[in-house]
């Protein structure tokens, strides 16, 4: 049995406890970042295969890259915000701007999220591109010009992801080990009242409640260490793809 949501008792969380909970969730968001990156790259690979096989794409296949890239850039926003909850100093867009294609990812994310801009909407010889510089207005009413990358979508996403993962990994390493929050037995008991829980699960819990509580007390987690491992795996993937 696994609880996928935050504990119901979290209304009593302290700021420090909240930081621990967010650190626990962080590795999952790193994996989501990895998933979105690989989805973008898979779209690019499929397009190249169609081109080499002289197959035509259609609206569905060509639209996937737009949705995948939008999701990819939004995971960047999430990792920036979530990481800033437990890292000091916080991660700012200025930190991300220094990375390869960092400023483009930052500003194109705004164009996609706030304006609905597809961003990646050009295709040539099997590769996807950003066709032109993007112009948009900021919330303050200022005109912003976002220069389009000169390389294809696969390359700039891999280069950015490699640098961003290295940035996060370095910041997390400097934080040191963080003991993740333990599951509370009271939260499990509350969850058991949910209508989605079968009766036999409640019966098993009643029979083994002492053993479950003892196991919870002995559990240890290293959410920061887990996230670092995932980030380094992303770096390795990016390096391998960029070198092919």
pLDDT(176) > 50: yes
The two tokens of residue 207 are 């029979």
The two tokens of residue 232 are 């380094």
pTM, full prediction: 0.83
Highest average pLDDT, of 16-30, 97-111, 169-183, 218-232, comes from: 97-111
pLDDT(11) > 80: no
- pLDDT for position 101: 98
Residue bearing the bigger pLDDT, 196 or 130? 130
In the chain, the percentage of residues whose pLDDT exceeds 70 is 87
Q: Give the DSSP letter string of 8-72.
A: GGGGG--HHHHHHHHHHHHHHHHHHHHHHHHHHHHHHHHHHHHHHTTPPP-HHHHHHHHHHHHHH
Residues in the chain: 244
Instruction: Report residue 240 CA to chain centroid gap.
Output: 20
- pLDDT for position 1: 42
Instruction: Kindly state the average pLDDT of the residues 68-91.
Output: 94
Instruction: Kindly state the average pLDDT of the residues 164-178.
Output: 87
Contact between residue 71 and residue 121 where contact means Cβ atoms under 8 Å apart: no
- Rounded alpha-carbon distances, angstroms, from residue 215 to 6, 117, 178, 209, 234: 19, 50, 20, 10, 32
113-122 confidence digits (pLDDT tens): 999 999 999 9
pLDDT(123) > 60: yes
pLDDT(181) > 70: no
18-58 confidence digits (pLDDT tens): 677 778 889 999 999 999 999 999 999 999 999 999 998 88
Give 99's Cβ-side CA count (13 Å radius). 25
- pLDDT for position 103: 97
- pLDDT for position 214: 72
């Amino acid at each position: 049995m696994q609880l996928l949501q935050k504990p119901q008792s979290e209304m009593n969380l302290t700021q420090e406890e909240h930081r621990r909970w967010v650190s626990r969730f962080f590795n999952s968001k790193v994996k989501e970042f990895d998933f979105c990156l690989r989805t973008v790259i898979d779209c690019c690979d499929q397009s190249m295969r169609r081109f080499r096989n002289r197959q035509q794409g259609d609206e569905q296949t060509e639209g996937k890259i737009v949705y995948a890239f939008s999701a990819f850039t939004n995971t960047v926003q999430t990792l920036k915000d979530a990481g800033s909850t437990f890292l000091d100093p916080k991660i700012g867009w200025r930190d991300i701007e220094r990375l390869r294609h960092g400023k483009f990812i930052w500003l194109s994310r705004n164009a996609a999220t706030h304006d609905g801009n597809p961003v990646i909407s050009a295709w040539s010889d099997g590769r996807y591109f950003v066709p032109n510089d993007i112009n948009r207005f900021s919330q303050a009413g200022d005109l912003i010009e976002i220069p389009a990358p000169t390389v294809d979508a696969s390359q700039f996403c891999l280069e950015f992801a490699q640098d961003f993962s290295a940035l996060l990994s370095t910041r997390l390493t400097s934080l040191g080990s963080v003991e993740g929050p333990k599951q509370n037995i009271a939260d499990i008991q509350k969850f058991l009242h949910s209508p989605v829980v079968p009766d036999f699960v409640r019966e098993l819990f009643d029979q083994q409640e002492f053993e479950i509580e003892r196991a919870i007390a002995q559990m240890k987690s290293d959410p920061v260490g887990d996230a670092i491992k995932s980030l380094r795996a992303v770096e390795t993937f990016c390096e391998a793809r960029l070198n092919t």
